[in-house]
Amino acid sequence: MTPIIQTIRGFRDIYDKPYALMERVIQTATVVVKRYGFSGIELPLLEHTPVFKRSLGDTSDIVHKEMYSFLDRNNESLTLRPEGTAGLVRAFIANQMMQDLPKRFFYTGPMFRYDRPQKGRHRQFYQFGIECLGVDHPYADYECIKAAVDIFDELEITGYTIHLNTLGDQDSRARFNQAFQKFLQGHKNDLSNDSQMRLITNPLRILDSKDAGDQRIIATGPRLKDYLSDVSKLFFDQVCTYLTNAQVPFQLDDNLVRGLDYYGHTSFEFKHSDLGAQSAFGGGGRYNGLVQLMGGSDISGIGFGLGIDRLMLLLEPQPFIEKAPVIVIPFEDAQVGYALYIAYLLRLENIICEVSFKGKLAKDLKYAQKRNACHAVLIGPDEMAQESVTVKHMDGSCANQSVTAKQLVSVISSPKLP
């Protein structure tokens, strides 16, 4: 027997209910962010490796150990995108969009990270993201978070928390880093192995450590918020005020630094305890230095990435109502052509409709039942001769009806596609 080829570990096929959930998340998110003036952008899945190395930071976990990078046939190092922001900023610069600010984009699609798969964590996963370039004012930070909240509201997701922090401007961070590093040097031997490494490469990330011992040490050390410049403080206060005025509840989280190097000022994460270990179903923040770092001018940015796979887990317990189709059933081969015509008429009216011809009425009706059909449209030789059909109401609410092809649509009160 020929062996069956399985999917790659951490990759999966998405169909049936999960596909419908994914579609719902993307459609809802798209409608919501369009209200905020965002328009769609489709970006390559593959980029030159430096697009990510330069932006996310060499010492970030993603670049350090999670990227799918390989040499192509031309010996160039390419990487499957692990996230969307870096590629978008690359596109922004390459297409000279800085002439026409602000720019607001949304994107969706697969991202790739080589991490250990578990519930809510895949090697190919899906994000819906927005990025707003060229607005320095904190109202953009507010709008970004509010747009995410609007998406969750429309998806009827409740029980989550918004974790909010500021990383301040570069000077504030540099001053804190110096004090923090000095403090940690005194506790070096008690830190976890990961944090000992980060002490050299990226001390700020130690704030994010999940290790209980690290957390105890951090709790007694300097706080980033005490090192913020007045400008950084004011900026963050404004973000908080806008959110409070709009009655968007949030939790201040001093240790939220996020895993990507490009962030400064506002950073945030959406978390839900139902998701277990992978509780963050979205996150984002401000990245004012990134466009310049990637070779463009000094243009600010703010955005978020939502984990579609995790949003799907939050939606899963909600009742799933698939739109009921109409099943058109010709009795014999001779009526198949006429059945196709009837199906055409129904679809013209946006009615979901399938033709089923198994050669035995009982089998076709069984299939209609399995598909939860609202109606079966039966077509035998008599119906075809009279240009009519017999409508069977699958819920048994009324007796079969004989109607002309033209009357059919008015008889069928089937849910229509939007």
- Residue 110 vs 221, nearer CB to ligand HAM: 110
If one asks whether residue 283 binds ligand HAM (CB under 6 A), the answer comes out as: yes
Number of residues located near ligand HAM, criterion CB under 6 A: 25
Rg from Cα positions in the chain: 28
Ramachandran region, residue 16 (left: φ > 0; alpha: ψ -120 to 50; beta: rest): left
- The least distance separating ligand HAM from the CB of residue 414, rounded to whole angstroms, comes to 36
Q: Is 83 in the site for ligand HAM (CB under 6 A)?
A: yes
What is the closest distance, in whole angstroms, from the C-beta atom of residue 220 to ligand HAM in the complex? 28
Q: How many other C-beta atoms can be found within 10 angstroms of the C-beta atom of residue 124?
A: 18
405: its two tokens: 């092809």
State which residue, 134 or 285, has the beta carbon closest to ligand HAM: 285
Quick note: the x/- pattern for ligand HAM over 342-381, rule CB under 6 A, is: ----------------------------------------
Q: Which stretch binds ligand HAM (CB under 6 A): 82-90, 165-173, 249-257, 349-357?
A: 82-90
Sheet holding 46-48, edge to edge: 46-48, 77-80, 68-71
**Interface with ligand HAM, residue 281, by CB under 6 A:** yes
Strand segments, DSSP code E, in 26-102 are 39-40, 46-48, 68-71, 77-80
Alpha carbons 185 and 179: distance in angstroms, whole number: 10
Which position's Cβ is nearest ligand HAM? Answer: 307
CA 207/CA 204 separation, integer angstroms = 6
**78: region left, alpha or beta (phi > 0 left; psi from -120 to 50 alpha):** beta
Minimum gap (Å) between residue 127 Cβ and ligand HAM: 5
Among 79, 127, 202, 388, which residue sits at the site for ligand HAM (rule: CB under 6 A)? 127
Q: Hey, what are 92's tokens?
A: 């922004």
Helix (H) or strand (E) holding 92: helix 85-94
Binding mask 230-269 for ligand HAM (x = CB under 6 A): -----------------------------x----------
Residues 19-78 that bind ligand HAM (CB under 6 A): none
Find the binder of ligand HAM among 92, 125, 128, 160 (CB under 6 A).
Answer: 125
Among 85, 166, 232, 300, binds ligand HAM (CB under 6 A): 85
Map residue 326 onto helix, strand or coil.
strand
Which of these ranges, 114-122, 168-176, 358-366, 393-401, lies near ligand HAM under the rule CB under 6 A? 114-122
Using CB under 6 A, pick the residue from 57, 134, 222, 282 that binds ligand HAM.
Answer: 282
356: its two tokens:
């089923």
Q: Is 121 in the site for ligand HAM (CB under 6 A)?
A: yes
Q: How far is the CB of 295 from ligand HAM (least distance, A)?
A: 19
Nearer Cβ to ligand HAM (47/83) = 83
The DSSP-derived string for 349-418 is TTB-EEE---S-HHHHHHHHHHTT-SEEEEE-HHHHHTTEEEEEETT-SS--EEEETTTHHHH--PPBP-
Comparing CB distances to ligand HAM, the nearer of 217 and 275 is: 275
162 binds ligand HAM (CB under 6 A): no
Q: What is the distance between the alpha carbons of residues 111 and 207, in angstroms, rounded to a whole number?
A: 26
Q: Based on the shown chain and the rule CB under 6 A, indicate whether residue 113 belongs to the binding site for ligand HAM.
A: yes
CB within 8 Å of 364: residues ≥ 6 apart = 327, 329, 356, 357, 358, 376
Residue 196: burial class (beta carbons within 10 Å; 0-12, 13-18, 19+): middle
Helix (H/G/I), strand (E/B), else coil: 169 = coil
Enumerate residues 287-346 that contact ligand HAM by CB under 6 A: 303-305, 307, 309-310
- Residues near ligand HAM (CB under 6 A) are 83-85, 113, 115, 120-122, 125, 127, 129, 131, 259, 280-285, 303-305, 307, 309-310
